[in-house]
Amino acid sequence: MGSVKDLEVLKAADFENPGRARFIYSDRYSVFDWGEMPDNIPDKGAAITLLGAYFFEKLEKMNIPTHYVGLVEDGEVRKLSDIQSVTNAMEIDLLPVIHPGLTGDQYDYSAYDDLKGQHLIPLEIIYRNNLPPGSSVFRRLKEGKITPQDLGLDSSPTPNQKLEIPIIDVSTKLEITDRYISWQEAGKISSMSDQEISELKDLTRVLNNFISDEYSKIGLVNEDGKIEVGFDSKRHLMLVDVLGTLDECRFTLNGMPVSKEIARVYYRNTPWYQAVEEAKKTDRQNWKKICRLQPEPLPPGLKKLISQVYCACTNEITEHEWFEDIPPLKEILEEISEYLRVESS
């Protein structure tokens, strides 16, 4: 399925009816599009599963369609309130995925031209409330790939700038190395009408506000995040994958990252990260094959703290102690702050 979760297909999907499958969330993680990193983060998979279920069940009450069916415990599908122990398995309705053709370095999305519904939309939608120093926006501006006006800004932004109006960004989803694109290109490759694109942006804004409100309850700021969507059989938008977790979003507390951004911060100060950036500039399609270095494992102490962050967020957002003996999130972040300061000094 991917670098961080596996897919167990129970019933194949077609263009008339959804299939049925289970996501098995692993303790693997990925940064900088590398794929599976050398470490596993203990309890990460279960923490993501439970938190994802919590948000999906909230969205059900808001009448927002999703592919979520329930959590899997002892082989049975149950709602979050009915399970007795942690699980890393989630049952979902499955949509067909149509990969674009590839000739050389050109992608062919013509397979989407005649599709009516019942498929994954080949886009990843990103909302941005703030622009933390690690935001890809700054790299794209520096490289001249976008202008401030493309983002709805009058002038070049600065790191940690809070946006009066959130930016709704879009990238490809099914390419070897996904790339940011304009909304005009997004509509073209996905064969979505202007009205459907407008509805997709509106849905993203609703979800952004929803996630921001949920995390503000535990004192966190929703900096940015992503969603994935599909069309149901009637070509209505439905939310797929998962949302609102520490893998899909970047959160901060008093400027301190509260997500897998912690691992990104650590690795940005390593030679491997520089090698990744060099390789991507040399060959965007085959950069991983030519990268001259492999990532080293995380320091054991930092890995433990990142695990505790995932567990603490799930405990505190859901108001249920799924993971025992986990310190309060604010205490964990104080220790991480000191750890990264020592590591980078």
- The whole-model pTM stands at 0.91
- Domains in the chain, number: 1
Question: Measured in Å, how far apart are the chain's first and last C-alpha atoms?
Answer: 38
The domain of 95 spans 5-344
Amino acid 342: pLDDT: 59
For the chain (345 residues), the mean pLDDT of every run of 10, in chain order, is 84 94 95 92 97 98 98 97 96 97 93 95 97 85 90 89 93 92 96 98 98 97 96 96 94 88 92 95 89 96 96 98 96 90 58
Beta carbons within 10 angstroms of residue 326's beta carbon: 22
Amino acid 343: pLDDT: 60
Amino acid 150: pLDDT: 87
Amino acid 238: pLDDT: 97
CB 111 within 8 A of CB 29: no
Among residues 77, 139, 94, which one has the least CA distance to residue 233? 94
Q: How far is the C-alpha of 109 from the C-alpha of 98, rounded, in Å? A: 9
Amino acid 284: pLDDT: 80
Amino acid 49: pLDDT: 98
CATH number of 315's domain? 3.30.470.20
In this structure, what token pair is assigned to residue 103?
Answer: 């000739």
3-class secondary structure, 95:
coil
Q: Residues with Cβ < 8 Å from 332, sequence gap 6 or more?
A: 305, 308, 309, 312, 326
Amino acid 334: pLDDT: 93
Amino acid 345: pLDDT: 44
Give the phi and the psi of residue 128 in degrees, each rounded to 5: -130, 115
